[in-house]
Amino acid sequence: MTSKALATLSIAAMGGPSLVLGLLVGIGFIVVATTRCKLHPFLALIVTAYAMGLYSGLDPMQTVAALTGGVGQTVGHIGIVIACGSIIGMVLERSGCAVVMANTLMRWVGEARSLLAMSLTGALVSIPVFCDSGYVILSPLARSLARRTGQSLAPFVVALSMGLYATHCLVPPTPGPLAAAGQLRADLGVVIMLGLVVTVPIIAVTYAFARIYGRRILLDPVPVGLQSVDAPVSADVPSVGTRSPGAVAAFSPIFLPIFLIALQSIAALPGKPFGEGQLQMLVRFVGNAETALVLGVLLMAWVSRGYGRVAFGNWAAEGLRDGGTVVLIVAAGGALGAVLRETTMAQFVGESLADLDLGRFNILLPFIVASGLKIAIGSSTMAMITTASIVSHLLPAMRLSEGFGPSLATLAIACGAMVASHVNDAYFWVITQMSGMTISQGYRLITVGSILAGVTGIAMVVLLSLILL
């Protein structure tokens, strides 16, 4: 018998409950190793990925293939974005642009509403932009607002990340809800409109959570390496003859990538608003997240030109040093998720939950399945796609196959895919590492915040189902 056949039999023999127990033990190891034993998160995640692969019945080479494939896929998706975002963030801090942005935003919305502005900005930006890319782009603004208002960074991180998360999961054209709507044959326009409706209470609840609980956790808004809150220039770069840029120039390196990515999303719509020729190709090229962020870096170099080429080069190098660590940790989280997806855990969770019958509240079934898959495999997009494939043939039995049923089922899946972002989710690591959170703080803020977001969302979907079905 071949090693592949033996591995298949081993996986089949490994019961679903044992896999879930193994995942819980793995999560516990990561938390204890990083908090109590001070093991670097990259090492804790990689060790857990190896252990989960071997424990689940994958043979050693399958485990290595899944792990390295997960690293490669994650770095390919987010590596350039994080590297360029880190450069932009560092130069914004060093050049004084961040202070200009914070002061400008305070004049527009008022200091008392700065946290709400962060939530709404995140929700708006993540409609065309992936939430992890959006967080990389906007995190310098959150940090600047925290410094400007003299508050902990924690509530701004929660407000921004959950605002991004809500529309990323609920409002197409991001891939998860788009794919789920396609599999369930839901009307895309209805999904978008109802998704925006469901987003409103999620923003309200997560904003309240950030405002009330987030403020209890102290998180320094000053990045490591900055001499003081008021010192925008590093010690080895002279500041004589330099000046901070205006508001338009300060904001442009952030909003140029957002604008270009939004254009790319528009170009990809079924109606082909930019046609199918050279113009569409150009828009989709410059609107690719990696290209857009590289253009943002080049614009940042121009905006900070008053400090000289040497200054920009030094700041870029600092940003890359910080960003490199973040990329590795996020990639390790992607490796763990990839290994888990190679096991039968997703199949076990989906089949076990799909047998439920909730009567009048059958709209909860897609939510429960998606929640279980999200917790098990980490990726919101994969949880949505997998859940949609599981429940698509069950819609008639759940009385959700007509009218608003498919659209509400799509949103229920999206809400489930928001629940409990934790250590096997790359977005969790993007947030915690770029904000300087510990793993414990990440669980208390991001994991709890994502649970509140998902539960609030499904409560709104249930209410809509009682009205529309």
297 and 87 Cβ atoms separated by less than 8 Å: yes
Q: Write down the pLDDT at residue 350.
A: 62
Q: How confident is the model at residue 182 (pLDDT cuts 50, 70, 90)?
A: confident
pLDDT at 147 over 70: yes
In a shared domain, residues 157 and 38 = no
Q: Average pLDDT, stretch 302-309? A: 84
Out of 231-240, 368-377, 430-439, the most confident range is 430-439
Look at residues 234, 340, 462 and name the one whose alpha carbon lies nearest to residue 22.
340
Q: Write down the pLDDT at residue 44.
A: 86
Q: Write down the pLDDT at residue 159.
A: 94
Q: How confident is the model at residue 236 (pLDDT cuts 50, 70, 90)?
A: very low
Residue 117 Cα distances to 106, 108, 413, 433, angstroms: 10, 10, 28, 23
| 36: helix, strand or coil | coil
Q: Write down the pLDDT at residue 6.
A: 41
Any alpha helices (H) in 36-174, and if so which ranges?
A: 41-56, 60-95, 97-109, 114-125, 131-149, 154-170
Out of 57-66, 329-338, 349-358, the most confident range is 57-66
- Tell which wins on pLDDT, 270 or 189: 189
- Residue 445, Cβ density class (10 Å: 0-12 exposed, 13-18 middle, ≥19 buried): buried
92 and 242 Cβ atoms separated by less than 8 Å: no
In a shared domain, residues 37 and 109 = no
Out of 31-35, 127-131, 167-171, 459-463, the most confident range is 459-463
In a shared domain, residues 277 and 163 = yes
In a shared domain, residues 55 and 89 = no
HSE, side-chain direction, 13 A CA sphere, residue 14: 23
Assigned domain for 107 exists = yes
- Tell which wins on pLDDT, 351 or 170: 170
In a shared domain, residues 277 and 318 = yes
Instruction: Write out pLDDT tens, residues 66-107.
Output: 999 988 887 887 788 888 888 887 887 778 777 777 777 777
55 and 13 Cβ atoms separated by less than 8 Å: no
Query: CA-to-CA distance for 111 and 421, rounded, in angstroms?
Result: 30
pLDDT at 200 over 90: yes
Phi, psi of 194 (to 5 degrees): -70, -30
Query: CA-to-CA distance for 434 and 259, rounded, in angstroms?
Result: 23
Boundaries of domain holding 233: 77-168+225-335
Last residue of a domain, one of 72, 99, 115: 72
In a shared domain, residues 93 and 38 = no
Average pLDDT, the chain: 82
Assigned domain for 22 exists = yes
Last residue of a domain, one of 57, 72, 87: 72
Last residue of a domain, one of 320, 335, 350: 335
Instruction: Domain count for the chain, please give it.
Output: 2
